Chain A
Amino acid sequence: MAEKLAMVKEDPIIVIEGITKTFGNVEALRGVSLTVNKGEVVIIIGPSGSGKSTLLRCINRLEEFSSGRIVVDGITLDGAKNINAVRTEVGMVFQQFNLFPHLTVRKNIELAQKVVRKRSTAESEKVAMELLEKVGIPEKANAFPHQLSGGQQQRVAIARALAMNPKIMLFDEPTSALDPEMIQEVLDVMVGLAKEGMTMVVVSHEMGFARAAAHRVIFMDSGQIMEMGTPDQLFTHPSQDRTKLFLSKVL
């Protein structure tokens, strides 16, 4: 399946240079550098506490980093001023979905369009319905989040993020909170996005998804990038012992 993915040109959209992050005296990130090109799908794997979620959350500044530099789509993340500018270009999908429980599915997708993008009600509604069509649950438009299954909720969360027309999508363990039978429906939506050429950074241990959609897999451990390569390289011929050890546990 990997050959169906479009080739990626050298065209950096995310540039991370030596960022560090400490929580108290715990070093979550110890000098991580990474460049992601436009249209590239990067999967980050690694044991829990390795800093992979922290790295992801630094990209849209949900987490502040201690030192280093991140440039997203030409905007340098340093001052507080341009954070919202970056966030509108970067969509994020969370492990726990984080849908707004007091709003219907459609309103969940419309809210930020109206508030942030200043779109009209009619326009946001149109976008919402198109996206619900795309993630395959248009019939749930008027349901409330708690009336949906986990897989459906996560698909709504993806639609909500896409409604902002982001250039980059971040996924923080999008299938970890799902029952096994619902994982595939979410992965299908993500593979579809990857094939459309969306730039994606995904923290996930779904190896099937990595093989189907990833250009690059990154293995992180104790706050550092230990190894990176194509899914084939990393999964079948890992060069580091720690990568081998980790893969032997999860595969």
Chain B
Amino acid sequence: MAGISFPEEQKQEELVRTKLDSPGAGFDRWWLLVVGVVVTIAILYFTIPDPYGRAVNFVWDGIGVSIGVTVSSFIVTVFVGLMGGLGRLSKNKIIQGIATLYVEVVRGIPLMVQLFFWYFAFPAIIQSFGKQIHYEPFTKYFADPYFTAIMGLTICYGAYMSEIYRAGIQSIGKGQVEAARSLGMSQFEAMRYVILPQAIRVVLPPMGNEFISLLKDSSLVSVVAVADLTRRGREFMAQTATPIETWTIVALMYLVMTILSARIVGWLERITKLQER
């Protein structure tokens, strides 16, 4: 530790940075895979326009929906997870109890069942409640598919994210809080300025993996009337009776998205490792 002087360290850092930024950097088997999958889709599209070309055209708008649902849920999940993670670590027994209950209940129920609950059961509960209190907006409540899908995914993934945050925060040594507290910082200030900035680096890689899982699990929202990639695939198959072609195209499209996401996650990981130096 003592042997490394500062300027050297900086030079190393610059070296790694240029390596990352230079064009063609990291053109490895990951990119080959992406290119391979894209080329496969293109070949199928142009050489066999029916049904492959038609399938691509048909499901195309579903990609936007899948990405939209995934990204919106993920953004909210990042905050829900932070609240849940802090709640799990709270010294207040009530807050801790609520957060723990949330995490345990949600993790114990399959995502598809949760989505069914929010889409079918939840509006029915609101309606009968509305009838009892004679509040008309409630009696006429129906679940909006997109809102329900994003809410369902967020609630489910928020629970997993809570555990990631909790582990990240716990990985920062107790001495850090003590140092911050001994300087007169409040619990909140210590969390805000000392613990979270360090925890975020620990949390980022598993968070990226959650994003990829969320992208894949977003296919489940097709059961609650959201026209995502999977649902568009089902519709196309129903119209054309071409299961092999349909699901080959849908699978390849998910694959492009997940591999690209994994790539971005890996890149983020390296960036934060650099900052850590």
Contact = CB atoms under 8 A, between A and B. Distances in A.
Interface of A: 60, 62, 84, 87-88, 90-92, 94, 96, 98-102, 111-112, 115-116, 140, 142-144, 146-147, 149-150, 157, 160-161, 164
Contacts of B182: 60, 62, 87, 90-92, 161
Contacts of B104: none
B176 A164 contact: no
Nearest to B184: A88
Given A84-B186, A87-B183, A111-B193, A98 B4 contact: no
A143 B8 CA distance: 12
A115 B185 contact: yes
A106 B185 CA distance: 18
Contacts of A102: 197-198, 201, 276
A96 B179 CA distance: 10
Contacts of B173: 98
Given A62-B182, A142-B6, A150-B2, 20 more contacts: A84-B184, A84-B186, A87-B182, A92-B179, A96-B175, A98-B179, A100-B176, A100-B179, A100-B198, A102-B198, A111-B183, A115-B193, A143-B6, A144-B277, A147-B4, A147-B5, A149-B1, A149-B2, A161-B182, A161-B183
B178 A112 contact: no
B144 interface: no
A84 B188 CA distance: 12
Nearest to A116: B184
Contacts of B184: 84, 87-88, 112, 116, 164
Contacts of B176: 98, 100
A161 B4 CA distance: 26
Contacts of A144: 277
Interface string B168-208: 00000101101111111110010001100110010000000
A89 to B, nearest CB: 8
A142 B6 CA distance: 9
B14 interface: no
A147 B181 CA distance: 24
Interface in B223-277: 276-277
Q: How large is the interface on B (under 10, 10 to 19, 20 to 34, 35 or more residues)?
A: 20 to 34
For the complex of A and B, 10 pairs with smallest distance between CB atoms: A88-B184, A112-B183, A98-B179, A92-B182, A98-B175, A116-B184, A149-B2, A87-B184, A143-B6, A102-B197
A227 to B, nearest CB: 29
Contacts of B5: 147
Interface of B: 1-2, 4-6, 9, 173, 175-176, 178-186, 189, 193-194, 197-198, 201, 276-277
Contacts of B9: 147
A34 B173 CA distance: 31
Contacts of A84: 184-186
Contacts of A92: 178-179, 182
Contacts of A149: 1-2
Contacts of A115: 185, 189, 193
Contacts of B186: 84
A87 B181 contact: yes
A144 B198 CA distance: 14
30 contacts: A62-B178, A84-B185, A84-B186, A87-B184, A88-B183, A88-B184, A90-B182, A92-B178, A94-B175, A99-B179, A100-B198, A102-B197, A102-B201, A102-B276, A111-B193, A112-B180, A112-B184, A112-B185, A115-B185, A115-B193, A116-B183, A116-B184, A147-B4, A147-B5, A147-B6, A149-B2, A157-B179, A160-B183, A161-B182, A164-B184
Q: Which of A98, A149, A150 counts the most chain B CB atoms within 10 A?
A: A98
Contacts of B1: 146-147, 149
A62 B185 contact: no
A238 to B, nearest CB: 32
B189 A116 contact: yes
Nearest to B178: A62
Contacts of B198: 100-102
A112 B193 CA distance: 9
Nearest to A90: B182
Contacts of A100: 176, 179-180, 194, 198
B13 to A, nearest CB: 11
A164 B183 contact: yes
Nearest to B275: A102
Contacts of A94: 175, 178-179
A115 B184 CA distance: 9
Contacts of A116: 183-185, 189
